[in-house]
Amino acid sequence: MKITTWNVNGIRAALRKGIQNWIKEYIPDILCIQETKAKREQVDLSALKDLGYKFVWNAAERPGYSGVATFYKIKPGNIRIGMGNDIFDKEGRVIQTSYQDYELFNIYFPNGGRGRERVQYKLDFYAYLLKLCDGLHKQGKKIIITGDFNTAHKEIDLKNPRENRKVSGFLPEERVWVDYYLKHGFIDIYRYLYPEKIQYTWWTYRFHARERGIGWRIDYYLISKELIDIIDDVVIFDQVQGSDHCPVSLQIEDIYKKGIRRK
């Protein structure tokens, strides 16, 4: 089973660039898209429907801004749009889909780059989501959080950490929130599997950053620690074009799809 996350930086533009060709080749079972920047009725999804996907859409109130969509071949048991707080939900940042063994969150975390007020908004978003996840963990639920976290956790996760110490996305007060999640039962599964590997998932369009290997790893999978044993791999497709981000895929062992637990 494959769950793929991809910030497409505008789904209409990304489809014009041909992202559906990679999706057709790879065929994720669940595709979590961030930054759709469109209402549902503004997008021709026939290419993805032809691949057998159904979907759920969460658009921001503000036109051409934010937004997430989850495309799936495996039907979820339940779907929840947003987190139940209009302060955050009006920006169209969260879709939660429920499966037998985990809750999947597709999230476009806020970007704090527009000033101190937005940094605080971002921190409040992290806090509200963690409280929600704490409640699910107390109920015995297992969780997968994926999407664009808009934060590089450690120095290994970006090319130029020293130069970016005062830049939103690598501020200490942002990075510590990833630590909080790890202390609350989550694991950054890519870093768990590859503690010293350097790969990036986002590159600015400026300065030929992608060609020069100047990037950040900000697209993550945080999983409940109880799920570790059923994870086969996390793959960063850093050669795939179509956005300033690349797709990242969580691969879950096939026998798990059949409901068989690894001993």
Which amino acids are annotated catalytic?
148
Task: Give yes or no for a contact between 219 and 191, defined as CB atoms under 8 angstroms apart.
Answer: no
Tokens of 188: 């950054």
Residue 144: helix, strand or coil by DSSP?
A: strand
Locus of tokens 């057709």: 24
Query: Rounded to an integer, what distance in angstroms lies between the CA atom of residue 199 and that of residue 145?
Result: 20
Residue 229: helix, strand or coil by DSSP?
A: helix
Q: How far is CA 250 from CA 67, 104, 171, in A?
A: 21, 12, 27
Quick one: which of 81, 32, 84, 86 has its CA closest to 59? 81
DSSP 242-255: SSSB--EEEEE-HH
